[in-house]
Amino acid sequence: MDFIFQTGHNQKHLLYTMGEHIIMRRIQADFLSRPVYLAHDYADHLYGTFLDHNIYYSYITINEELTIKSISSEQPVFQLGADDLHRYVQAQIVSFNGHIILLYTVHNPSDNKWDVRYAVINSPASENISSEIYDLLCDLSCKPVFSVLNTGSHLIIYIHSDDNNSLWRLSSDSEFISHDDISDTFKQQTMFRLDKISPIHEDAGKLQQASNLMMNKISSLLDENDNLKKELSDLNEEKCLYSPKLSEQEGKLKSLTDSLIETKKALSIREAQIESAKKQYNELMDVAQRYRDEAIKWRMKFSAGQS
């Protein structure tokens, strides 16, 4: 099950599971933060509650321990160890009157019996934290399922099993009073409200599956976005790295281009000079040829006069 807590103005915290991980993200306006991995030993029954500006969550670990932690610390606020005589099969926490109330079901494999118990954790955020554990129902022959209703002024527990259906209310001294001591009117009102929320429990599996698919997709998109940001950052770093070299090469290229232009200009001038020299040479050759031809004529005339 996923949980969203309103923790401030336009700010929420999302708590969900993915495999053996418990993950938290902060939601602010349209921004969804990167995932924060709170635990890596999740097995079943994540539940969360909000108390004294802090988020607490409970779950059953892969080592079959029942653990309560806060998002501000990796150390457990409360923990029940596993043994061969007990199996924790359902757990839920709720904040009430400044305490954390942990309700859980224990299965005894040796006699196949079921117990419903609860623990009251006092001052979970202080160094003077204390806890007490109580039995609510014992030696049930069928697996019980409980529903919790917190009205603000009352904490109501409805326990259902094939051999026992009972209604309980938490008293001011943190003890549950059975339905025999609760007025019929109060019981009827409570049962009506519990019936209203029962479809939520029936569809919890489908909602959890759909929610997990959605969170997986969101996580995949965010990871892809992070990868794109990293690639962009790497490209910017490469740009900064090669920018001086590129500027240097651009300077050299400009210098070579300018030199080539000057060379072309000089070559063009030289070609013009060569063309001018050729023209002058041809003109001189033409004049020399006319002088030669004229000289030959005069020689021929002179030779003819002598003979």
Q: What is the CATH number of the domain that holds 191?
A: 2.120.10
Give, in order, the Cα–Cα distances in Å from 27 to each of 10, 14, 17, 21, 59: 8, 7, 16, 19, 23
Let me know if residue 210 belongs to a domain: no
Predicted confidence at residue 214, as pLDDT, reads 54
* Domains identified in the chain, total number: 1
Let me know if residue 278 belongs to a domain: no
Considering only residues 207 and 66, tell me which one the structure prediction assigns the higher pLDDT: 66
Let me know if residue 271 belongs to a domain: no
Query: Can you give the residue range of the structural domain that contains 126?
Result: 3-202
How many angstroms separate the most distant Cα atoms in the chain? 173
Q: What would the pLDDT profile of 53-89 be if each residue is shown by its tens digit?
A: 899 999 999 999 999 999 988 889 899 987 767 888 8
Let me know if residue 208 belongs to a domain: no
- For the entire predicted model, the pTM comes to 0.60
Q: Using the predicted structure, report yes or no on whether residue 139 has a pLDDT greater than 50.
A: yes
Let me know if residue 292 belongs to a domain: no
